[in-house]
Amino acid sequence: MPMGATPFPFGDCRVCTDKATGVHYGVATCEGCKGFFKRSIPKAERYQCFFGGRCIVNPQNRNRCKACRFQRCVSVGMSIDAVKMGRIPKVNKERALAAHRHDDNASSSSDERPFALPTPSSSSSSVLPSSFLSQMSHHNLPMMEAQHPRSSLPSSQSKQFSSGPIPNSVAPFDHSDNFLCANTHDNNSSEAFVSGDHASHAWASEDTPPQQVPRPCPPQAWQKPPGAPQGSSEQGASPCSSVAYSPLGVSPYSPTVIKELINQVIESGQGQELQQTLIRQFFKDEIPLNLKRKLSPEEDSYEPPVKQEVIPFKQEVSQATDLQDDLFLFDLINTPFKEPPVPQQQQHPSSPLQEEGFLQQLQLDLHDLDQYLGPSSNDVDARYLQRHSRLSLDTDKAKLLTTKLLTAATSFIETLSRNRLLMREEVSGAREPHPMNTITHARKHQVLFMWNQLMDSIPVCNFDVLGLCRGIPMFNDLNPKDQAVLMEEAYFDIWLTMNAGLFQKGDSYMRLPCDARYSRLWMHYFLPEKVVDEMFYYTEKINICHLTQGEIITICIIQLTNPEHRGITDPGQVSQLHQVYLGLLWRQLQLSHQTDYSQVFNFIMQLLPMLGPLNKMQAEIVAKFQVDSPPDGVLRYTNEDGDFVNKEFD
DNA sequence: CATCAAGGCCAG
DNA sequence: CTGGCCTTGATG
Ligand SMILES: [Zn+2]
Ligand SMILES: [Zn+2]
């Protein structure tokens, strides 16, 4: 046997296929996975996969999804109980090596199991803790049993989570991207990455029969509803549990996550189908899983400890009587024009001439667009500067573009529609407010509940935002890296702008998965007052403009393609796109606001800049959220006196 | 004493 | 947070 000669006698890391450095926690793994597993335990981290729960874990992307990495750690048998000091009997080692060598032949006859996973029969008395055995027996648990009783996603039924085992046909997510190193540890390793190879290799040593190439993770003990508090089946056998293995739950709008999602979308933009699959997974796999996260026992039956009669916000809103009527568009429930959509002052001397100049820059039409990706962009500049008509984007083209945008935002709009409907019902009294919205002084468990709800809402939100971006004409033609940068930067802006219509009368009617409103009051539990105020300020301004859905989307895109974003490879192209959509908005407003469109346009233009700082604040907060689970440092709760208190619950 | 794994350490 | 490397301690 090649003893010292072999650099890595332990073969590949069973988790990520990197070089194993020894047997750690019962399994031959690399240093990285060893450390990762160690770190994951104590904090009982609740990771959450945002990609469908079947990410391929390899040395290149292992840091992209903690959930799946950890899941994999467990599935290959790592256990904290396996902690063993001292040396391993030579015999076992030999066997392990042999087994590993045979990996290639994949003919993993049950006996050849690596030492780390002794067969029950061979009960290697001491080496491994009993937990292994019990763990193994937990393979193949039904994936999601109980459904969240009353949860309904903020979107159409089509997205209703479907339960059942994960369809094997679904491809695992393989993060194989390259732009955007989300992680500092992302080395430049451009080694050809053959997912199939890795996958099959990785699984070769399992006692599961080798599968068709990209083999998704097999059902694990883990995949059973995380919420199911210790207790159920898993408990009895003393699983490797000192860990409360509820998977999931990290970062919400975490920049990292968003970044990853964006990557995903962009990548798949070049491989359409995979993308569809993945996105679909957001709903089928991810959401349902989330819905059953800790707190599950009391989850849906929250009874407000204090039945509060007076609910300020609601009351106020109820006074709006005209609600019932125009159940239709976005501008339902609108406050009367408090202020004319006329900008007080233009930042630059506001003269008609000034406006002319500005508008000239908007002159573009779709024909020009086609040229964009072509040769000289400077020419385009010159070209439209030469024109003197106000706008080249004629009505028909504008309508066409708008249609496309509405299509792109289908999902988002569905979500919004549903929420608007609920808003109307609730405002009109036809619908009882969710118990969580009748609370004025939230207790710890309630705050945690809402926190989890917030987390759970992320995938839906991601789906909507990313779906929209993907469908934006011309946007996909941008350099993928730029797309990523832009989307990342504008994520919050888009979310807020799209949801603006749900900010009414000083409160918010956005919905969490349990259908509770993510009300202004609740926002105060998770966000600094300033941020909340700014959000309301901005949305109120947007609302008074009485914009159509198409216009709202266009504004989102204008923000998305804001050429001021930094780190863009091709500012010129982005800028041109920006121009196009400015032109579109102009035209749209012209059609819907015949008389004052110019004023509205300028008003909006003045409004957008405020998103910058808001976005920044938001980003900082989110950064804190990154910390696993409920952010003590960020959360607040109310004490008996009704005051907000930071940290430390009662 | 030689080995080996858990943990600690800390630069990146 | 990651993961390569080093120290600690157990084990044969
Ligand atoms: Zn590994
Ligand atoms: Zn994952």
CATH number of the domain where residue A29 is located: 3.30.50.10
Instruction: Determine the average pLDDT of the residues in A397-406.
Output: 92
CA proximity to A278, closest of A251, A260, A290, A255? A260
- The pLDDT value recorded for residue A164 is 25
User: A536 and A409, same structural domain?
Assistant: yes
CA A52 to mean position of chain CA atoms: 11
Question: What is the DSSP secondary structure assignment for residue A191, as one 8-state letter?
Answer: -
Instruction: Determine the average pLDDT of the residues in A127-146.
Output: 26
Report yes or no on A192 lying in a domain.
no
Residue A509 has pLDDT above 90, yes or no: yes
If you measure CA to C1', which residue is closest to nucleotide B8? A35
Tell me the C-alpha distance between A348 and A390, whole Å.
Answer: 20
**Distance in Å, residue A185 CA to nucleotide B12 C1':** 8
A35 CA distance to ligand 1 middle (Å)? 9
If you measure CA to C1', which residue is closest to nucleotide B3? A87
Residue A601 has pLDDT above 50, yes or no: yes
Strand C nucleotides, any atom under 7 Å from protein beta carbons: they are 1-5, 9-12
Strand B atom within 7 Å of A85 CB: yes
**Distance in Å, residue A27 CA to nucleotide C11 C1':** 19
Report yes or no on A642 lying in a domain.
no
User: A397 and A531, same structural domain?
Assistant: yes
Residue with tokens 């926002």: A523
- The pLDDT value recorded for residue A318 is 28
- pLDDT grade for A385, boundaries at 50, 70 and 90: very low
Tell me the C-alpha distance between A69 and A55, whole Å.
Answer: 8
Least confident piece of the model among A52-66, A452-466, A563-577, A618-632: A618-632
Among A64, A81, A98, identify where a domain stops: A98
A148 CA distance to ligand 2 middle (Å)? 22
Q: How many residues are recorded in chain A?
A: 650
Tell me the C-alpha distance between A483 and A471, whole Å.
Answer: 12
- pLDDT grade for A608, boundaries at 50, 70 and 90: very high
Between A585 and A376, name the one with better pLDDT: A585
**Distance in Å, residue A30 CA to nucleotide C6 C1':** 16
Instruction: Determine the average pLDDT of the residues in A628-637.
Output: 46
Looking at every residue in chain A, the average pLDDT score rounds to 59
- The pLDDT value recorded for residue A519 is 93
Positions 325-364 in A, CB within 7 angstroms of strand B: none
Cβ–Cβ under 8 Å, residues A476 and A483: yes
Report yes or no on A118 lying in a domain.
no
Among A284, A301, A328, identify where a domain stops: A284
Residue A171 has pLDDT above 80, yes or no: no
Report yes or no on A361 lying in a domain.
no
Angle at A350 between CA A345 and CA A352, to 5 degrees: 140
A584 CA distance to ligand 1 middle (Å)? 50
Q: Which nucleotide in the DNA or RNA is closest to residue A9, CA to C1'?
A: B4
Positions 36-65 in A, CB within 7 angstroms of strand B: 38
Cα–Cα distances in angstroms (integers) from residue A16 to residues A12, A73, A184, A541, in the given order: 8, 9, 18, 50
Instruction: Determine the average pLDDT of the residues in A395-404.
Output: 90
Cβ–Cβ under 8 Å, residues A171 and A274: yes
A135 CA distance to ligand 1 middle (Å)? 20
- The pLDDT value recorded for residue A481 is 81
Q: Which nucleotide in the DNA or RNA is closest to residue A33, CA to C1'?
A: C3
Positions 418-447 in A, CB within 7 angstroms of strand B: none
Strand B atom within 7 Å of A319 CB: no
Question: What is the DSSP secondary structure assignment for residue A283, as one 8-state letter?
Answer: I
Q: Which nucleotide in the DNA or RNA is closest to residue A30, CA to C1'?
A: C3
Range of the domain at A55: 12-98
CA A22 to mean position of chain CA atoms: 35
Report yes or no on A405 lying in a domain.
yes
User: A402 and A271, same structural domain?
Assistant: no
Span A177-226, pLDDT tens digits: 433 333 333 333 333 233 333 333 333 333 333 222 222 233 232 222 22
Give percent above pLDDT 70 in chain A.
45
**What phi, psi does A602 have (nearest 5°)?**
-65, -35
Tell me the C-alpha distance between A326 and A329, whole Å.
Answer: 7
Strand B atom within 7 Å of A82 CB: yes
**Distance in Å, residue A605 CA to nucleotide C1 C1':** 40
Residue with tokens 């290959």: A76
The total domain count for chain A is 3
- pLDDT grade for A44, boundaries at 50, 70 and 90: low
Strand B atom within 7 Å of A185 CB: yes
Between A291 and A619, name the one with better pLDDT: A619
Task: Please provide the distance, in angstroms rounded to a whole number, between the alpha carbons at the two ends of chain A.
Answer: 62
* Closest ligand to the CA of A51: 2
- The pLDDT value recorded for residue A382 is 32
Report yes or no on A163 lying in a domain.
no
Best mean pLDDT range from A124-138, A389-403, A408-422, A459-473: A408-422
Counts for chain A of helices (H) and strands (E), in that order: 23, 6
Report yes or no on A215 lying in a domain.
no
Residue A118 has pLDDT above 80, yes or no: no
Least confident piece of the model among A250-254, A330-334, A388-392: A330-334
User: A589 and A454, same structural domain?
Assistant: yes
Report yes or no on A93 lying in a domain.
yes
- The pLDDT value recorded for residue A371 is 35
Rounded to two decimals, the ipTM of the complex is 0.97
Cβ–Cβ under 8 Å, residues A152 and A457: no
List the CATH number of the domain containing A393. 1.10.565.10
Q: Please state whether A238 falls in left (phi above 0), alpha (psi between -120 and 50) or beta.
A: left
If you measure CA to C1', which residue is closest to nucleotide B4? A87
Best mean pLDDT range from A53-67, A149-163, A319-333, A547-561: A547-561
- Ion ligand 2 neighbours (CB, 5 A) are A 49, 51, 55, 65, 67-68
Tell me the C-alpha distance between A197 and A122, whole Å.
Answer: 31
- pLDDT grade for A532, boundaries at 50, 70 and 90: very high
Tell me the C-alpha distance between A464 and A458, whole Å.
Answer: 10
Among A53, A70, A98, identify where a domain stops: A98
Q: What is the pTM of this model?
A: 0.49
User: A415 and A271, same structural domain?
Assistant: no
> Which distant-in-sequence residues (6+ apart) come within 8 Å of A162 by Cβ?
A283, A284, A288
Q: Output the DSSP codes for A92-160.
A: HHHHHHHHHHGGGG----GGG--TTS--TTT--TTTS-HHHHHHHTT-S--S--SPPSS---SS-GGGS
**Distance in Å, residue A4 CA to nucleotide B2 C1':** 14
